[in-house]
Structure 1
Amino acid sequence: MANTPQAKKRIRRNARRATVNRNRVSRIRTFVKQVEAALEAGDKATAVTALAQVQPELARGVAKGVFHKNTASRKFSRLTRRVAALS
């Protein structure tokens, strides 16, 4: 249990940040799922459009510190390869 006022404040702050970060990660996963759904359906036009929306969301996740740079790069690279293979 936190004893100092600073430690108590840190606990409150961490809880708020965890909520914000959880929402960010969820939003990014939603965009990724849209690309994957288009890939499953075989709809290249929709997949390309969804992929264009995923890239800035992943970059924003990196900038905000919820994803490592290499993780975002790997996810985008794999999605890009799967979309390119649709033809």
Structure 2
Amino acid sequence: MANTASARKRIRQTEKRTIRNRARRSRVRGFLRKVEQAIAGGDQAQARDALQAAQPELHRAATKGVFHPNTVARKLSRLSARIKSLGAAAQA
């Protein structure tokens, strides 16, 4: 257990930050789930809209330190490539 006042304060700060980060991570997962469902449904327009809604949330999570910026970039790149391939599959 923490013995000093500063250590007790750090524990309080960590608890608050953990709660906030958990909410942010959960929110991002919800946005990603909507994109995945749209891709699975095969609707490119809906998937594109869902990705546009998810993008700012992902970047915000990276800014706040919940996700590494490269992780966000990788996720967005892979999702947009999958959405793009939906259009190619529909044309073929």
- On whether the aligned pair clears a TM of 0.5, the verdict is yes
Q: Does residue 79 in structure 1 map to residue 83 in structure 2?
A: no
Q: AA paired with 1:8?
A: R
Matched with 1:25 is 25
**Structure 1 residue ranges (4+ consecutive) displaced by more than 4 angstroms after TM superposition:** none
SS state at 1:53 partner:
helix
| Alpha-carbon distance in structure 1 between the residues aligned to 2:83 and 2:33 | 13
* Structural RMSD (CA): 0.6
Q: Does residue 51 in structure 1 map to residue 51 in structure 2?
A: yes
1:37-78 Cα deviation digits (max 9, x unpaired): 001111111101001011111110111111111000000000
Structure 1 segment 50-69 matched on structure 2, within 5 A: 50-69=50-69
- Number of matched residues? 87
Q: AA paired with 2:69?
A: K
Unaligned 5+ runs, structure 1: none
Larger of the two Rg values belongs to structure: 2
| Alpha-carbon distance in structure 2 between the residues aligned to 1:75 and 1:45 | 19
Matched with 2:90 is none
Unaligned 5+ runs, structure 2: 88-92
Structure 1 segment 28-43 matched on structure 2, within 5 A: 28-43=28-43
Q: AA paired with 2:58?
A: L
| Alpha-carbon distance in structure 2 between the residues aligned to 1:48 and 1:70 | 21
SS state at 1:86 partner:
helix
Matched with 2:5 is 5
TM-score (norm 1): 0.97
TM-score (norm 2): 0.92
Q: Does residue 70 in structure 1 map to residue 79 in structure 2?
A: no
Q: AA paired with 2:59?
A: A
